[in-house]
Amino acid sequence: MAAIRGVIFDVDGTLIDSNDAHARAWVDALEEFGHKVRFEEVRRLIGMGGDKLLPEVTGISSDSPEGKRISGRCSEIFMKQLLPELRAFPGTKELLEELHRRGLRIVIASSAQEEKLRELLKLTGADGVIESATSSSDAEQSKPDPDIVQAALDQLKLPHGEVVMIGDTPYDVEAAARAGLRTIGFRSGGWTDSALAGTIAVYDGPADLLAQLDTSPLAGASTAPQAEKTPQQRYV
């Protein structure tokens, strides 16, 4: 097996404890527009793009006038009411910095909108080691379609065998597999090991992977240090 040289991270539920907040924003926005949806029904879909989630729970197309209003209100609720209370999972900053120190290149692949993603990445406290990020604006189809992961892979310009995806939902696993990548799963997003079937390893979250890094699939990575990026080179 080739040594891993690049890591593609999901964000929500993987680096940032935000899955419940996303579900709450959707439930509240939908209720304002007269659509009563249970929190649990939405929560199980967090991780796929909103363009797929909305029609799944309501039958409303995200491209319709009503769909656009609901999606816009959902983003507003999330950004203004919920985002200020969110935090990164324990070990997020340390994991990202250690992977960078070992010479791995780090990119982000998220179904989130670019503005939302930028604010979420600030919460990691390690924006200086994130090489680039792909969001919903970089792909025609959101997760579990592979477009966003493929866009991140294109930025890395590394062979598939030298890149691994790290995510917390079955949608991450499916998107990565359809892009030809292996996935390391995190339980931090609330999914069981059986739901994360197809991963090459599963950890509780960033801190757990960091603690077991030397016995993980990332153990064979280069130990060549990388230079810290300048503020102009940082994604966020």
Calculate what percentage of the chain has a pLDDT beyond 70.
93
pLDDT of residue 127: 86
Phi–psi pair at 26, nearest 5 degrees: -65, -45
Residue 233 in this model has a pLDDT that exceeds 70:
no
Instruction: Read off the CATH number of the domain in which 175 is found.
Output: 3.40.50.1000
| Annotation says 12 is catalytic | yes
Separation CA 123–CA 23 (nearest Å) = 19
Among 85, 113, 130, identify where a domain stops: 85
Residues 10 and 63 in one domain: no
Domain end marker among 37, 70, 85: 85
In this structure, the answer to whether residues 120 and 42 fall within a common structural domain is no
Whether 1 is covered by a domain: the verdict is: no
Q: Work out whether strand 182-186 and strand 105-109 pair parallel, antiparallel, or are unpaired.
A: unpaired
Of the residues 10, 138, 168, 208, which is catalytic? 10
Rounded distance, CA 172 to CA 155, Å? 18
Q: What is the pLDDT of residues 133-168, one digit of tens each?
A: 998 888 888 999 999 999 999 999 999 999 999 999
Give the number of domains in the chain: 2
Six-digit token pair at 121? 């990445």
pLDDT at 234 over 80: no
Band (229; pLDDT cuts 50, 70, 90): very low
Q: Is residue 37 part of a domain?
A: yes
Q: Please tell me whether residues 117 and 211 are part of one structural domain.
A: yes
Residue 32: CATH number of its domain: 1.10.150
Check whether 33 has a pLDDT greater than 80. yes
Whether 197 and 98 share a structural domain: yes
| pLDDT tens digits, 170-212 | 999 999 999 999 999 999 999 999 999 999 999 999 999 999 9
User: Which contacts (CB < 8 Å, 24+ apart) does range 151-157 have?
Assistant: 151/109, 152/8, 152/107, 152/108, 152/109, 153/8, 153/179, 153/181, 155/107, 155/131, 156/6, 156/8, 156/105, 156/107, 156/131
Determine the pLDDT at residue 68: 98
Q: What are phi and psi of 164, to 5 degrees?
A: -130, 145
Helix 19-32 vs helix 65-77: angle between axes, to the nearest 10 degrees? 130
Which structural domain, as residue segments, surrounds residue 29?
A: 19-85
User: Is 228 within the bounds of a domain?
Assistant: no
By mean pLDDT, which of 49-63, 74-88, 219-233 is the weakest?
Answer: 219-233
Same domain (yes/no): 62, 115? no
- At residue 236, does pLDDT exceed 50? no
Of 12, 138, 168, 172, catalytic: 12
Tell me whether residue 227 is in a domain: no
